[in-house]
Chain A
Amino acid sequence: MLFNARVQLLLLCLILTAQSRRQGSRKKRWSEPEQTLKPGRPPAWQFQPQYPSADGFTIPPLYKPKPSQSGLSGFIFNTSNMALGETPDAVFLVGKTRLENGMVNGPLSRKIVDGTKTRKLKTSHLLRVDEHDFTMRPAFAGPAVPVGVDVQVESLDSISEVDMDFTMTLYLRHYWKDERLAFPSATNKSMTFDGRLVKKIWVPDVFFVHSKRSFIHDTTTDNIMLRVFPDGHVLYSLRVTVTAACNMDFSRFPLDSQTCTLELESYAYTDEDLMLYWKSGDESLSTDDRISLSQFLIQKFHTTSRLAFYSSTGWYNRLYINFTLRRHIFFFLLQTYFPATLMVMLSWVSFWIDRRAVPARVSLGITTVLTMSTIITGVNASMPRVSYIKAVDIYLWVSFVFVFLSVLEYAAVNYLTTVRDGKDRKLRDKIREQSQTLPCTCGIPHTKTMMLDGMYNEADANSLAGYTRASMLAEDPSDKEEQMVVHLALDNESTETKKKGTRSFRFIQNTHTIDTYSRMIFPGAYILFNLIYWCVYC
């Protein structure tokens, strides 16, 4: 019986030592003084700092430090209702201050423990990154992995006509499932990582087809987020600026609208390895409300998806982001159309100026031609060199033609005036020869000539010669006699020749008829052109 008692005592001692060893080790870990615990609610400081291994990843602090009675400052990430002694999922403490019994919480008395020192963990690594070969895609040699894509467009930075491209900044999100990344979790909460994990695991290699330049923003660190859910679902988000080509059609410039697309595709994996799809259909594409461009109005953003075939590599899924832009016309109205119209109207002023003012009319015409030419050069400076005619070209060249024609009109007027002047002079001299025997009609005032033949002699008033008062005074009354005589001589001619002569004579005599008609024809034709143009293009 004594033997049994000793055995039982030994067993009891063994059990007790085992218990105390366990409890002792726990006590070693928790070196803080004991605190009274509220039932069911572990104190904030009670968890030991646990850092993952050196080649792992750091978890960004998301929570502000909770003030606690012990003066402890630390971060608890992913708090859960843990019972005492249960190992937490991911916890680390930063800058913990330890208080000995009875110590006052002050800077001198604080002993800072290095929270970054790695300790041996009982549990294995969090994500077990090194156990798998992440150069292979999930479900390698199996079915295709479906990758959902979600895009939020932050801004459209610029649209360049000369380079025919556009620049866009967007948040690109990928969703897929990789079971190698699944981890046990009681609370089903996800873990978030930044760009440093990306190099270790597999991510889809989406690229932008037809992009000229693109980059992932890297200020202050790579703008990459990775969020891993306990069941292995992954959300991978990055912020990208991409400059992509957009074929623009300028035949209706500047009253045009352009449709541009941004195309996403996996570079390496074909349809059989990776299936790219829009996560929520058409709602996958969201835009900030504040997207606005100075020169364009964004009409529509929508998504499509298709398959693209490459003869050497196979079929790939391709996703499209399409948007339609309509150009604001106001700038071009102010910059191009309005000056061109003003120049044409200025050229019409020439028809109202006396046709004897030769330098005035010529310089007016020529300067408007020069200004139109400058406007045309200015517009083409900021445009690509396309091989078809643009709407603005049509307007500018027709206006140029109008201005040019006004110069030609004055050349015609001037030429015909000179011709008529020469004929006038010839006639006058002939009359002078013949009028030696005619009665003197000196003194008949100039105005009476109208009564003689019912036709105002405009030859006098409109001739190139003698408009100033001085030269009029210097005229001999015999001049007037000669002019009257011209009419008399004309009356003496045969009726037919007279009719013909007066008609053509009247036309040549009234060369300002061209001016009078031009005053109506030019504006009328230009207004008609404008009506047709704006109706066709609006």
Chain B
Amino acid sequence: MRPGFGGSAIPVGIDVQVESIDSISEVNMDFTMTLYLRHYWKDERLSFPSRNNQSRTFDSRLVKKIWVPDVFFVHSKRSFIHDTTMENIMLRVYPDGNILYSVRVTVTALCSMDFSRFPLDTQNCSLELESYAYNENDLMLYWKNGNDSLRTDEIVLSQFFIEHFHASSGLAFYSSTGWYNRLFINFILRRHIFFFMLQTYFPTMLMVVLSWVSFWIDRRAVPARVSLGITTVLTMSTIITGVSSSMPQVSYVKAVDIYLWTSFLFVFLSVIEYAAVNYCTTLEEMRKMRRGKIPSTFNASQAMAFDGCYHDNDIELTPFPRMASTLASNPLTTQSQNSDLRPPEGTRLRRQRSVRENVDLLVNNSYMIDSYSRLAFPLSYLLFNTVYWSMYS
């Protein structure tokens, strides 16, 4: 029977010294902590006469014979009292009946984590202590020294930084059994970003930069540009898979997901861009063939020599369309004065171009897609990075 049975509630003071936080698992959404848990209460049945007022210390075998509070950890998954070489329990009895009861416990408890800002997130976890049998009328659980009751050894975690440890208490209501005192050990963890920078963000940035290299390679090098684009897509996909393997499968999007998928989109667009360039180039050649700039004996497959490029000494793909009048007598190339030759770029004759004319312009000058991409892609990626980091940091 508890001390003071049938009378007022017995106050039990609690003191905790956290030895270590062993692991924090995102996949299981829990944490494992080892702590020294000390209870202080007064049981007059255990008082003994003493001349020098010194306490007596006992180990675990006395515990089975006397009453001790039955504190348990709410929301714990597994826990155990260490028992090597003997049960790690200490009982110290003072002559007036005050008792100090200390145990070394390892407990794995649940912590709901919110990953919407992973890996730039902070997690708030708490360990809750409560008496199992005795409600508020029988046992009053309180922190012995207020906020100083919670002490920590030097806790070093590899992935996190412990911002704050504090103690709080509250009441918990169970509809079938009543009100219970509950004590909380709260701590805030901030994740170190460095590992993810090195492992995820940096490779992703490099892959996106590598995909831009494709814009500087000659657009006639079809296999080269395609393989460049595809391999960067493959690497991005591998990085994405690697990150998701160590994460729980949550139903919302995480910060790292946003970054990875946007980068993936950039890399994907560079492949699409080259498809567009290649298509426009092909169209351009068709039109030129139709106009007769290219001899009809031109054999495209012959032109793709061992390096896979078009050999176009004769295919005119340079920037500015030539003034037809000055090159009448070129034996190899016949400049035809086509009526559909538009006025050159330099002339002042400008008018609103219709959509079809814009497309035509693009097709005839497919180099422009590359030139614009060389500027547009880096700038937009830079803009995305600025927005992302300012939002999450």
Interface residues of A (CB under 8 A from B): 135-137, 140-141, 163-164, 172, 203, 205-216, 238, 240, 242, 245, 247, 267-270, 273, 310-313, 354, 356-363, 366-367, 369-370, 373-374, 376-377, 380, 384-389, 393, 397, 400, 404, 407-408, 411-412, 414-415, 417-418, 422, 425-426, 429, 432-433, 436, 464-468, 470-471, 476, 478
Tell me which residues from 82 to 105 in chain B have a Cβ below 8 Å from any Cβ of chain A.
Answer: 82-92, 100, 102, 104
Q: Which residues of B contact A238 (CB under 8 A)?
A: 85
Any chain A CB within 8 A of the CB of B244? no
Residues A476 and B327 in contact, CB atoms below 8 Å apart: no
Tell me which residues from 159 to 212 in chain B have a Cβ below 8 Å from any Cβ of chain A.
Answer: 159, 192, 194-195, 198-199, 202-203, 206, 210
Given that A135-B58, A267-B90 are known contacts, is A366 also in contact with B104, CB under 8 Å in the complex? no
Q: Which residues of B contact A369 (CB under 8 A)?
A: 206, 210, 231, 235
Q: Which residues of A contact B84 (CB under 8 A)?
A: 207-208, 211, 214-216, 240, 242
Chain B, interface SS category = mixed
Any chain A CB within 8 A of the CB of B334? no
Residues A207 and B195 in contact, CB atoms below 8 Å apart: no
Least CB distance from B304 to A in Å reads 10
Could you tell me the distance between the alpha carbons of A374 and B203 in the complex, rounded to whole angstroms? 11
Could you tell me the distance between the alpha carbons of A418 and B36 in the complex, rounded to whole angstroms? 73
Residues B158 and A313 in contact, CB atoms below 8 Å apart: no
Residues A270 and B302 in contact, CB atoms below 8 Å apart: no
Render B3-14 as a binary contact track against A, CB cut-off 8 A, 1 for contact.
000000000000
Q: Which residues of A contact B276 (CB under 8 A)?
A: none
In the complex, the chain B residue whose C-beta lies closest to that of A250 is B158
In the complex, the chain A residue whose C-beta lies closest to that of B315 is A465
Could you tell me the distance between the alpha carbons of A186 and B319 in the complex, rounded to whole angstroms? 116
Query: 7 closest Cβ contacts across the A-B interface?
Result: A387-B192, A268-B90, A359-B223, A358-B221, A214-B84, A362-B224, A205-B86
Least CB distance from A364 to B in Å reads 10
Q: Which residues of B contact A359 (CB under 8 A)?
A: 221-224, 227, 307-308
Residues B85 and A377 in contact, CB atoms below 8 Å apart: no
Q: Which residues of A contact B15 (CB under 8 A)?
A: 312
Chain A, interface SS category = mixed
Question: A207-B85, A268-B102 are known contacts; what are 20 more A-B pairs with Cβ within 8 Å?
Answer: A135-B59, A141-B54, A210-B19, A216-B85, A240-B85, A267-B104, A310-B17, A313-B102, A361-B224, A362-B227, A362-B228, A370-B234, A377-B239, A385-B192, A386-B195, A397-B198, A404-B206, A415-B216, A464-B220, A468-B305
Residues A268 and B59 in contact, CB atoms below 8 Å apart: yes
Q: Which residues of A contact B82 (CB under 8 A)?
A: 207, 211, 214
Q: Which residues of B contact A407 (CB under 8 A)?
A: 210, 213
Render B227-256 as a binary contact track against A, CB cut-off 8 A, 1 for contact.
110011011001100100000000000000
Least CB distance from B89 to A in Å reads 7
Q: Which residues of A contact B203 (CB under 8 A)?
A: 373, 376
Q: Which residues of B contact A387 (CB under 8 A)?
A: 158-159, 192, 194-195
Residues A245 and B90 in contact, CB atoms below 8 Å apart: no
Given that A210-B19, A385-B158 are known contacts, is A414 also in contact with B218, CB under 8 Å in the complex? yes
Any chain A CB within 8 A of the CB of B23? yes
Residues B327 and A433 in contact, CB atoms below 8 Å apart: yes
Query: Which listed residue (A215, A354, A373, A412) contacts B235, Cβ 8 A?
Result: A373
